[in-house]
Amino acid sequence: MTLSGFNEYGRLKAVAVRTPDAAYQSETKIGAEWERLRFHSAPVLAPAAREHQAFCDLLAAYGAEVIELPKTADITLDSIYARDALLVSPKGLILCNMGRASRNFEPALNASALSAMGYPVLGRIEAPGTIEGGDLIWLDDTALAVGLGPRTNEDGIRQLQALVGPDVDVHVVPLPPPSHPEDVFHLMSMISPLDRDLALIYRPLMPESFVEWLGARGVGFVEVPEEEFIPMGCNVLALGPRDVLMLDRLPITKAGLEKAGCRVQTYAGDEISRKGEGGPTCLTRPLWREV
């Protein structure tokens, strides 16, 4: 197996997910964890499973191989957000040292499962470095944006640069602090690439240096309105160039995407996305995109 297509918009061919059965596991586990992990309310397992299956069906219908990550007692409800534990790079998977310590059982578990399928592993981020997958965006094989914030620190970024090598331009994006130290604000909370030359952004939080860096690479923008930012209007998964999957009930953002020439599909995510604040990019660890 190979990792390929280091961007966020190429046609999705292989993607890893973790089902609610594997992440949420039982109503007892949900009851013990949801408040500590700052979910808005307790997910309900049966409807969560239905939502996730429908979500995966959309991925599969587009032609992507959907790989289910394993279940162990050590992982938390957060593990449904499969993107965060591993990074992809042209040289192989990189295991994260996660900013939320309770998630640090996930990287080795996920990497072991994918390595057994033949996916190469390049290395890992070691303490005191921290990094999470939601803070990384590949524009192409040589340009990588990394969010510097509560889940990804300077030492983690330094180690990442050493792993990907000097030929990759790693652009560091300072992130605003979340309202609570245990809350998450990833780079992909405010930007989702849609195509080689188009990205969905929440402009008020974008540093001007980042806007200029993207603009120098020919990237234009669709902007998310303020009223749809908190409900995760900016968290959109490109299945292919200008072919996107987003949460339902975000009509202004959906209309803006369609005006920009995007085909938009929606999914219901009350249990798997809204309660834990993890949209479609969070639910997926893309492994192979066809360019």
| Residue ranges in the chain whose pLDDT is less than 50 | none
pLDDT for res 177: 87
Q: How confident is the model over 243-259, as pLDDT tens digits?
A: 999 999 999 999 999 99
pLDDT for res 4: 79
Domain ranges of the chain: 11-184+268-290
pTM of the model: 0.97
SS (H, E, C) the chain: CCCECCCCCCEEEEEEECCHHHHCCCHHHHHHHCCCCCCCCCCCHHHHHHHHHHHHHHHHHCCCEEEECCCCCCCCHHHHCHHHHEECCCCCEEECCCCCHHHCCHHHHHHHHHHHCCCCEEEECCCCCCCCHHHEEEEECCEEEEEECCCCCHHHHHHHHHHHCCCCEEEEEECCCCCCCCCCCCHHHCEEEEECCEEEECHHHCCHHHHHHHHHCCCEEEECCHHHCCCCCCCCEEEECCEEEEECCCHHHHHHHHHCCCEEEEECCHHHHHCCCCCCCCCCEEEEEEC
pLDDT for res 251: 98
11-184+268-290 to CATH, choices 3.75.10.10, 3.40.50.2300, 3.90.180.10, 3.30.950.10? 3.75.10.10
pLDDT for res 37: 96
